[in-house]
Structures are given as structure tokens and as C-alpha cells.
Chains A and B, each alone.
Chain A
Amino acid sequence: GAVVSQHPSRVICKSGTSVKIECRSLDFQATTMFWYRQFPKKSLMLMATSNEGSKATYEQGVEKDKFLINHASLTLSTLTVTSAHPEDSSFYICSASGTGRETDTQYFGPGTRLTVL
């Protein structure tokens, strides 16, 4: 149990375009979803926290107009990187926590490799 999926697993796009990444909790209801970014050989950096049906809370230094997060249902959150630039190239990982045994533990998706040309 506690499976989180992400789609796509990798995406290559041109500079200036927007990219949407989906995060789904497959077997539990995710009341809270988190979006992280990982730079090479670095730890995971939390970008934002989203609760179902409300606006996301962004970490300091993360541009909310650039990284649009939507958490429309208890099983789906999306991250849209708007007007992507090469410096946005990174590994983006979502996680989800829910109710029951998933309350305190975050379960992570497999990640999405974004490359902006």
C-alpha cells in the first residue's frame, strides 16, 4: 500500500513552454501533497505544500507564479512549470501523506526528470 505515481517520468521541452507534472496517490487519500526539487548530489528541497481544495504554501524563494500547484482532489496534485528556462531543469519529486497510517509519513513518487533546452 501507500503507492504514489508521477507522470511523466521524464520530459524535454523548449525554453518558454510550460510543463505539467502529475502526482497521484494510488491506494490512499492524500490530504497533503508536497513538491520537492533535487539538484545533482544534493538533498531534496521542499518547494511547496498543498492541501486538497486550498492554495499551496510555498517555501521561501520559490516563485509561486512560476511553479503553479493544484491539488483538486484527494488523489491528484499537479505542478506546472510555466515559461520554463534551462535553469528549471531538475529532478522534481512529489510526496503524499494522508489519513490512517499514512498521516505522518510521506510516501514519494518516482520523480520526473525535466530538461529544458
Chain B
Amino acid sequence: DQQVKQNSPSLSVQEGRISILNCDYTNSMFDYFLWYKKYPAEGPTFLISISSIKDKNEDGRFTVFLNKSAKHLSLHIVPSQPGDSAVYFCAASATGGTSYGKLTFGQGTILTVHP
């Protein structure tokens, strides 16, 4: 049962344009969402997060949008740069109860930014 889904395995974008990475979840207990960037043979690097009490969080070129009613979140990168090329994972957590802190990851989306 895939509770966090990234339905696009890959995305290709021109440098300077916007990259939009999407993520859907099914578990209504999730209340904290994160995006990680990962290069091959390295650990994920934390990018940005959002709590369910918000619908938008911005940090520099990265903005995460959360639509709780649709159980959908997205990561916007603008402007995209070639150095952004990596695998992006979205992750979700239910911060209450016995599963506190445990992250459920999506399958990842490979972003390629062309110069």
C-alpha cells in the first residue's frame, strides 16, 4: 500500500523555467510533509517542509504548496538551475501517536534541468 505517491518518475525542464514536482498521499493522519533532494550514492538532503496547519511555505527558490482536501502537495523550484538536477523525494509523517517521526517516502522523481 503506497501511502505517498509521486506519479511522475521523471521531469525535464529548461534552465530558468519553473519545475513543479507533485506528490499525493492517502493517509489522513499525515500532518507534516517534507521534500528531500538526493544524488546517487548519497543520503537525502532536506530541502523544505510544511505543516498541515499551513498551505504554503517558501524558502528562496523553493516553495511547497499543500492542498489538504485533495491530499496533494507540490514543490516549485523557480528559477530552475542545472545544479537542481537530482532525485526529489516527498515524505510524510504523522507527528502524533506511536508513529511519531516515522517518514513515509514517495518513489521519487528524477528532475533534469537542461542548460
Q: List 28 A-B contacts (CB under 8 A).
A: A34-B102, A34-B103, A42-B107, A43-B89, A43-B105, A43-B106, A44-B44, A44-B89, A46-B103, A49-B101, A49-B102, A91-B41, A93-B44, A95-B103, A104-B32, A104-B93, A104-B95, A105-B46, A106-B46, A106-B91, A106-B101, A108-B36, A108-B44, A108-B46, A109-B43, A111-B41, A111-B42, A113-B41
A14 to chain B, nearest CB (A): 22
Q: Which residues of A contact B107 (CB under 8 A)?
A: 42-43
Q: How far is the CA of A32 from the CA of B98 in the complex (A)?
A: 13
Considering only CB atoms and an 8 Å cut-off, how many residues of chain B contact the other chain? Answer: 22
A116 to chain B, nearest CB (A): 17
Is A97 an interface residue when CB atoms closer than 8 A count as contact?
Answer: yes
Interface magnitude class on chain A: 20 to 34
Minimum CB distance partner of A46 in chain B: B102
A115 to chain B, nearest CB (A): 12
Q: Which residues of B contact A111 (CB under 8 A)?
A: 41-43
A57 to chain B, nearest CB (A): 9
B71 to chain A, nearest CB (A): 18
Known pairs A97-B101, A105-B46; list 7 more (Cβ under 8 Å): A32-B101, A43-B108, A95-B103, A106-B103, A108-B44, A109-B43, A111-B43
